Amino acid sequence: MIEALSPLDVDIRRRIKAAGPMPVAEFMALCLSDPQHGYYMTRDPLGTAGDFTTAPEVSQIFGELIGLWMAATWRQMGSPENVRIVELGPGRGTMLKDALRAVQVMPAFLAAAVVHLVEISPALQAAQERNLDGSSVPVFWHDRLEDVPGGPSIIVANEFFDALPVNQAVKQADGWHQRMVALDRNGDLFYCEADEALAGLDRLLPESVRNAEAGEIFEWRTDTVAMEIGRRIAREPGAALVIDYGHDESATGDTLQAVGRHAFADPLEAPGTIDLTAHVDFQALSQAAECMGARAYGPLEQAELLRRLGIEARAAKLRENADREQTQAIDAAVARLTGRGRTGMGALFKAIAFAHSSVGTPPGLDA
């Protein structure tokens, strides 16, 4: 039995028939953010009943440590009377909920904080509103970081940049050709390369990529969000913490992947019904923020950051009042957040921070 095409699949095929192959970045943007049928616009993808699980959903410890990081950063900023706590792509609001609970030990920080959430998904915004209902801290929602009012800011982003559309180009004898999504003779989606080489891309490539061999793929993002982060925190004292999975230095490789029901899937299959991501290039991210005046610190592995922020001490405190089953759950969560290998997030995920020159090295990012 042939399965019916998803509504977005039908629309994408119609667009390609009318205008020809579309760039991978355009395809990814439609799959995730199409107003009617985009993946993030129509569902809550998190948790065991969804498609994937993020660190805040693994354990409350993650959000608590991020909350303490924010409070310590606020002190390094000179404890401004009004500080914007900005989260990009807040998921269900779980991390922020745990963070705000942890910083109740610092009432002066809570009194100064105003939360601004940058979220485009109606489904996830509803979940955030439920999770943060009753919070003593004012909460506002925005579609873009640019819409958040100016002023001293602490910005956090966990698994946000990996979901931003990624461009791909394939090296050929005459240069780099943009990778596209097209229709084959049977009407199925497939990858192809644009006929003409991308003019000027060679001049923009990092040194590590310029000697790529034919057939290799290079990925890059338009780093407008990273540049906006750099601009905001360079203009007024502030800091940002980005945690995501990716590579320290720019390199070739196809990292575009799809996940559905906690299993890998074909990125071209059922557009709008599965999650698409690509690894974050932390070198490019750092350069984008630094070019706007911010200072970069890191990246370092998530496991190392969490150790420096006190994950073992916090886990030990939770074990004091835990029964055997709860203790096993705490140990499993710590292993997941800091472990290596297939199921561990500790090495694959990296952390990088950006700060105003007056703030100094953000907590946990010291050498």
Among candidate residues 78, 72, 77, the one with its CA nearest the CA of residue 365: 72
Tell me whether residue 115 is in a domain. Answer: yes
- Summarize the confidence of residues 87-97 as an average pLDDT: 95
- What distance lies between CA 18 and its chain's CA centroid? 33
Q: Name the average pLDDT for the chain.
A: 92
Among candidate residues 144, 125, 357, 161, the one with its CA nearest the CA of residue 244: 161
Tell me whether residue 8 is in a domain. Answer: no
Kindly indicate the confidence band of residue 50, based on its pLDDT and cuts at 50, 70 and 90. Answer: low
Tell me whether residue 87 is in a domain. Answer: yes
206 pLDDT above the threshold of 80: yes
Among candidate residues 288, 287, 285, 293, the one with its CA nearest the CA of residue 235: 293
Identify whether residues 108 and 255 lie together within a single domain.
yes
Radius of gyration of the chain (CA): 21
Identify whether residues 190 and 298 lie together within a single domain.
no
Identify whether residues 187 and 275 lie together within a single domain.
no
Identify whether residues 157 and 259 lie together within a single domain.
yes
Tell me whether residue 15 is in a domain. Answer: no
Tell me whether residue 1 is in a domain. Answer: no
- For the record, the structure tokens of 136 come out as 């003593």
Host domain of residue 205? 21-31+166-220
- For the record, the structure tokens of 210 come out as 């310029």
- Looking at 220, 237, 261, which one is the last position of a domain? 220
Identify whether residues 328 and 265 lie together within a single domain.
no
Tell me whether residue 362 is in a domain. Answer: no
Looking at residue 86, which CATH number applies to its domain? Answer: 3.40.50.150
Identify whether residues 252 and 340 lie together within a single domain.
no
Least confidently predicted of 33-37, 110-114, 329-333: 33-37
Identify whether residues 225 and 98 lie together within a single domain.
yes
Q: How many domains does the chain have?
A: 3
The whole-model pTM stands at: 0.94
Kindly indicate the confidence band of residue 2, based on its pLDDT and cuts at 50, 70 and 90. Answer: very low
Identify whether residues 298 and 325 lie together within a single domain.
no
Identify whether residues 233 and 119 lie together within a single domain.
yes
- Summarize the confidence of residues 50-64 as an average pLDDT: 84
Identify whether residues 151 and 238 lie together within a single domain.
yes
Identify whether residues 240 and 264 lie together within a single domain.
yes
For residues 259 and 217, which has the higher predicted lDDT (pLDDT)? 217
367 pLDDT above the threshold of 70: no
- Looking at 181, 198, 220, which one is the last position of a domain? 220
Tell me whether residue 140 is in a domain. Answer: yes
Read off the pLDDT of residues 229-267 as tens digits, 9 standing for 90 and up: 999 999 989 999 999 999 999 999 999 999 876 577 899
Q: If you search the block for the tokens 């998803």, which residue do you land on?
A: 6
Q: What is the pLDDT of residue 123?
A: 87
Identify whether residues 209 and 71 lie together within a single domain.
no
Kindly indicate the confidence band of residue 45, based on its pLDDT and cuts at 50, 70 and 90. Answer: low
- Summarize the confidence of residues 221-230 as an average pLDDT: 95
268 pLDDT above the threshold of 70: yes
Q: What is the pLDDT of residue 1?
A: 33
- Looking at 196, 220, 244, which one is the last position of a domain? 220
Distance CA 365, CA 306 (A): 10
Among candidate residues 360, 326, 298, the one with its CA nearest the CA of residue 60: 326
- Length of the chain, in residues: 367
Tell me whether residue 340 is in a domain. Answer: yes
Read off the pLDDT of residues 181-203 as tens digits, 9 standing for 90 and up: 999 999 899 999 999 999 888 78
Contact (Cβ atoms closer than 8 angstroms) between residue 80 and residue 241: no
Read off the pLDDT of residues 149-173 as tens digits, 9 standing for 90 and up: 999 999 999 999 999 999 999 999 9
